[in-house]
């Protein structure tokens, strides 16, 4: 059984994305590419891909906030320094906007079907505020 929780770093898609991006010296470039890949997709997005994009967007938000309570994100941010440029913050905000749009991606629908949509949206709220 895979990892699943309402936090942006509490599922397999998110953890896979963190692992793929870990340890590279061009962190900001890789974060940009990961987000653009999702934003450039015109069609319906599956949950693992959207989960990974949400995690990346939340990492950028966490960098802006300056703190993060999730151990995996904290460790990742400590090991992967980057500057959250205005462009990167805009891309992250657009990613969270897409993730929270009904009928556009499986992740939203799974949270809605589970009855935990409001809880999931609440976990994203601090990151969305940081990116505003």
Give the pLDDT score at 85: 92
Rounded to an integer, the average pLDDT of 32-61 is 92
Residue 71 vs residue 15, higher pLDDT: 71
CA–CA distance, 108 with 117 (Å, rounded to integer): 7
Query: Where are the domains positioned within the chain?
Result: 12-38+45-131
Residue with tokens 């994009």: 53
Output the CA–CA distances (angstroms, integers) from residue 64 to 26, 60, 61, 127, 131, in the order listed.
Answer: 18, 6, 5, 9, 7
How confident is the model over 93-115, as pLDDT tens digits? 999 999 999 988 999 999 999 99
Q: What is the pTM of this model?
A: 0.81
């Amino acid at each position: 059984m895979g990892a699943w929780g309402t936090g942006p770093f509490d599922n397999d898609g998110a953890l896979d994305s963190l692992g793929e991006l870990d340890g590279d010296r061009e962190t900001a470039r890789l974060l940009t590419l990961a987000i653009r890949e999702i934003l450039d997709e015109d069609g319906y997005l599956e949950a693992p891909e959207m989960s990974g994009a949400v995690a990346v967007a939340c990492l950028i938000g966490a960098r802006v906030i300056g703190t993060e309570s999730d151990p995996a994100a904290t460790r990742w941010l400590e090991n992967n320094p980057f500057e959250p440029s205005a462009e990167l913050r805009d891309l992250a905000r657009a990613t969270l906007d897409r993730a929270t749009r009904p009928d556009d991606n499986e992740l939203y629908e799974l949270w809605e079907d589970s009855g935990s949509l409001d809880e999931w949206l609440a976990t994203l709220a601090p990151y969305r505020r940081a990116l505003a």
